[in-house]
Structure 1
Amino acid sequence: MKIVAGLGSVDEYIPYVQAGADELFCGYVPYNWTKKYGTVLPLNRREVLAYNVQLGSFSELEILSAMIRKYRKPVHIAMNSLYYIPEQYEEIADIVKQCMKIGFDSFILADPALILYLRQKGISCKIHLSGEAGEMNREAIKVFREMGIGRIIFHRKNTVASMRQMIEAVNAEKLEFEAFALNELCQFTGAFCNSLHCDEMGYLCRTTYWGDAEMEERMERVRKRTLEIEEQQEQQYLCGKSGCALCALPHLEAAGITHLKLVGRGNYVEDMIRDIRNLKAALGVLEENQREEKETGRYIDQLNKKIFDGQPCGNNCIYNPGQFL
């Protein structure tokens, strides 16, 4: 399985590659788009200018393209909005063609209409279906495959078992499959979230809410744990503190996952470097265990020693351990 890490600025590319990232992804929102549409009609659903979340100028893309030619680690450009107004489709197609001219040929898209529009325009870029696209099942994957999708990115709410069933059902299609591995566990599914990630307001995903008693109790535990983690954040690094699936790696690989998503756009660079190294180390432990035919329990023991140094993990599991099988 390959590591796909989030990129917040051009400066992060080389250290992330050197740390062990196999691929990277980033957002690109031209200033003209921001000036024209502002926050409420976003290109990428990450309309943040206050800190490094995405690239904002074509010159940055040109610099990044030169780095890619040297280091040979591809960067996928994310356009995660669920829909666009009619006039925006032509503008996005122009942005895609500009990016392709300087070497970017793969794009992470969530809007099925945009995918169809690009194909109808004869734009032959590689397309990864964003996890923001929503619920997945085997028939949906078949439909998207017919639209020329090369990779399916599963959203956080898929269980490992359901991903395995879907992959097995379309295995002959030779698709790539990507799943979340570290960071940014969220109570929402992106496709059903109308929140905005921007400078002007707080993120809805960080707002407490009420549901049934069981859900409320669970969210209160998560909220308290999050507060504890945030209080320690400046003093202590903890791998997977905002979402972790390291113990699920054997099951993800067995399910047919080919790529692991390491979220991190906007995170501290030093923390991201450690995240990449830890995920790389976890994959090394997994490979060693498989080569020596050791049990999964042995993998967990070695993981705790190598990654968490015998300390308890953040207990913020992306996938419920009880749903692995």
Structure 2
Amino acid sequence: MKIVAGMGCIDDYIKLVKAGADEVFCGYVSYEWNKKYGSLFPLNRREVLYYNIQISSLEDMKILKKMVDFYKVPVNITFNYLYYLEEQYEMIANIIKDLINIGFNDFIVADIALILYLKERNIKCSIHLSGECAELNRLSIEFFNKLNISRYIFHRKNTIEDMKSCIRSNEVKNLEYEAFILNERCHYTGAFCSSLHCDEMIHLCKVPYELLRIDKNEISFCEVDKRIESYYKAIDDKDKEEFDIENQFDPENEYGSESEEGMEGSYFIGETGCGLCSLKKLKKAGITHLKVVGRGNSIENMEKDIKSLKKAIAILDNTEISETYEEYIKNKLLDGKCSGQCYY
């Protein structure tokens, strides 16, 4: 199984490759697109301008291609917004043609209309069907096979049994299948999520929630108010705690920056989503690629994620350990510190 890692800027490419990534994926939004449509109508479900989550110039993409030529680790480019306006398809096709002319050929697409548009315009490229498209079963994959999809990316809600059934029932052989393995576990299915992922507001998928059975005869708005008040107090307390930690002074450092030990202690494997214990089942199901989500994540954490996943794959390939893989991962790799944010 190969590791596919998310990248926010071209400066991170070499670090991801050296950490052990077999592929990289990134977002590209051209100046022309931002000028006409702004960040609220993004190309790839990231309504962001102010931190490293998009590549925004064709010259940077040319530099990235030179890196790819040298390190031989391919880059896939995301165009996985759920839908586009009719007037936008021609601009998107021109952007994709520019990227193909540079030398990129693999694109992650969610919108079926865009896939058809590219096919009708005879724009030859490799299409990875995004998990945002929500391919759910073998019948939908049978339909998408007609569109010459080279890789299916299962969304976050597909169970391993779902994946296994889809892969084994697919009459088209030698296709690739990708599954989420680390980071950004979400209670939404991407195709049915209308949340923004922007600079100014917390992502809706990160707002905590609680499922309760409500008796319509005993609805208490006072109780609801108390819960809301408690929720916001907890957020304020957490923000204050994080602020205090960030502003702690290191006696050895007159400028008050964090010590290396403090920075190391902040990392936790799979804190926001983890599937390491399910690696053996994913392999048996036929998964060929494992997605480490990371656009916008710190490069230091991404390097650690990739190294941890690389180690987990090596453990799985060790025939002496493979029988007790899950137990070994929990005790040795995770050191018994499970995040509880399990994908599968």
- The one-letter amino acid paired with 1:276 is I
TM-aligned CA deviation for residue 135 of structure 1: 4.1
The within-5 A match list for 1:218-257 is 235-257=265-287
- The one-letter amino acid paired with 1:270 is E
Task: Work out the CA distance in 1 between the residues paired with 2:109 and 2:172.
Answer: 23
Q: 1:286 aligns with which of 312, 316, 330?
A: 316
Alignment partner, residue 301 of structure 1? 327
Residues 1:313 and 2:338 are matched in the alignment: yes
| Range 156-165 or range 35-44, more displaced | 35-44
Preserved contact between residue 316 and residue 322 of structure 2 (Cα < 8 Å)? no
Task: Work out the CA distance in 1 between the residues paired with 2:288 and 2:277.
Answer: 16
- The one-letter amino acid paired with 1:250 is K
| Range 256-265 or range 41-50, more displaced | 41-50
Preserved contact between residue 181 and residue 246 of structure 1 (Cα < 8 Å)? yes
Once the two structures are aligned, what percentage of the paired residues are identical? 51
Task: Work out the CA distance in 2 between the residues paired with 1:158 and 1:270.
Answer: 29
TM-aligned CA deviation for residue 139 of structure 1: 1.1
Larger Rg: 2
Preserved contact between residue 81 and residue 111 of structure 1 (Cα < 8 Å)? yes
Preserved contact between residue 27 and residue 55 of structure 1 (Cα < 8 Å)? yes
Preserved contact between residue 167 and residue 255 of structure 1 (Cα < 8 Å)? yes
- Once the two structures are superposed, residues 14-56 of structure 1 have per-residue CA deviations (whole angstroms, 9 ceiling, x without a partner) of 0110110000100001122112111332211112122111201
TM-aligned CA deviation for residue 145 of structure 1: 1.2
Structure 1 stretches of 4+ moved >3 Å: 208-214, 230-235
TM-aligned CA deviation for residue 202 of structure 1: 2.6
Residues 1:42 and 2:42 are matched in the alignment: yes
**Shift in alpha-carbon separation, 1:51–1:173, aligned structure 2, 3 A:** same
3-state SS of the aligned residue for 1:280? helix
Preserved contact between residue 21 and residue 306 of structure 2 (Cα < 8 Å)? yes
Task: Work out the CA distance in 2 between the residues paired with 1:65 and 1:151.
Answer: 21
3-state SS of the aligned residue for 2:87? helix
TM-aligned CA deviation for residue 148 of structure 1: 1.0
Preserved contact between residue 131 and residue 154 of structure 1 (Cα < 8 Å)? yes
Task: Work out the CA distance in 1 between the residues paired with 2:291 and 2:9.
Answer: 17
Give the alignment's TM-score, normalised by structure 1. 0.88
3-state SS of the aligned residue for 1:261? strand
TM-aligned CA deviation for residue 200 of structure 1: 3.3
Q: Pairwise CA RMSD of aligned residues?
A: 2.4
Alignment partner, residue 144 of structure 1? 144
Task: Work out the CA distance in 2 between the residues paired with 1:121 and 1:263.
Answer: 31
| Range 109-118 or range 39-48, more displaced | 39-48
| Range 75-84 or range 298-307, more displaced | 298-307
TM-aligned CA deviation for residue 172 of structure 1: 4.0
Give the alignment's TM-score, normalised by structure 2. 0.84
Task: Work out the CA distance in 1 between the residues paired with 2:336 and 2:322.
Answer: 23
TM-aligned CA deviation for residue 93 of structure 1: 0.4
- Once the two structures are superposed, residues 91-115 of structure 1 have per-residue CA deviations (whole angstroms, 9 ceiling, x without a partner) of 0000000001111000000000000
**Shift in alpha-carbon separation, 1:138–1:241, aligned structure 2, 3 A:** same
TM-aligned CA deviation for residue 306 of structure 1: 3.7
Alignment partner, residue 253 of structure 2? none
Task: Work out the CA distance in 2 between the residues paired with 1:209 and 1:241.
Answer: 17
Alignment partner, residue 217 of structure 1? none
- The one-letter amino acid paired with 2:181 is A
Q: 1:262 aligns with which of 279, 292, 315?
A: 292
Task: Work out the CA distance in 1 between the residues paired with 2:338 and 2:188.
Answer: 23
- Once the two structures are superposed, residues 238-286 of structure 1 have per-residue CA deviations (whole angstroms, 9 ceiling, x without a partner) of 1110000000000000000000000011111111000000000000000
